[in-house]
Amino acid sequence: MKKYFAHLRPMERRLAVGVLVVVIVVLNAWKIWPHFSDWGDLRHRLDDAQRKLKLYQTTIALQSNFQVQVKGFESQGESVDPEDQSINFMRVIQAQAAESGVAISSTSRQMTHTNEFFVEQVQNINVTATDEQIVNFLYKLGSGASMIRVRDLELQPDGAHQHLIATIRLVASYQKNPVAPAHAAPAADSKLITKIVK
């Protein structure tokens, strides 16, 4: 290499050094400079992975607590067999109406809607009562474990302006499927969480 440079004229030497510098700069710009931030990115990804791992390990450690809470929530809801849901729904409505002094003037045929988790029973009723009786009736329906709520409510006064005539659409939600045995779920959950961590 030295012999080659020794045979070159000064102008050719400058040109060769200039080309060499340009080649080195281009190679650095193409291969080396874009990777200056790789170490910081790698460190950031490692920190994120360690945070996730810690979060997953904490969640796995709390698995038994979650199972106890789930069992508690499951036991809070009213368990009604599928064949008794519509009868139970109407029975609760009539019992609360009698207790609140609300007169049910007519009812419609019940409708049923389902999704992945719940069966919804929909019942339209027409009632006549005072405003206080209607408020008590609706409040008592919504409280407790009955899972009944009001979807639509229309009010108008009767002819003598002594009572209110209300058209109410009530919806009750029941669990669609019986609860699976508790001992089968933890194994599947722990496998899933272990797979996520990996």
**Tally of CB atoms within 10 A around 149:** 13
Tell me the percentage of the chain whose pLDDT exceeds 70.
77
Comparing 129 with 35, which gets the higher pLDDT? Answer: 129
How far apart CA 185 and CA 118 sit, in angstroms, is: 20
Beta strands 118-129 and 148-157 are unpaired
Provide the pLDDT for residue 141: 84
Instruction: Please tell me the pTM assigned to this model.
Output: 0.48
> Residue 52: is its pLDDT beyond 90?
yes
Kindly state which CATH superfamily the domain 81-175 is placed in. Ribosomal protein S6/Translation elongation factor EF1B (3.30.70.60)
Provide the pLDDT for residue 183: 47
User: For residue 2, what pLDDT band results from cuts at 50, 70 and 90?
Assistant: low
Burial of 109 (0-12, 13-18, 19+ CB in 10 A): exposed
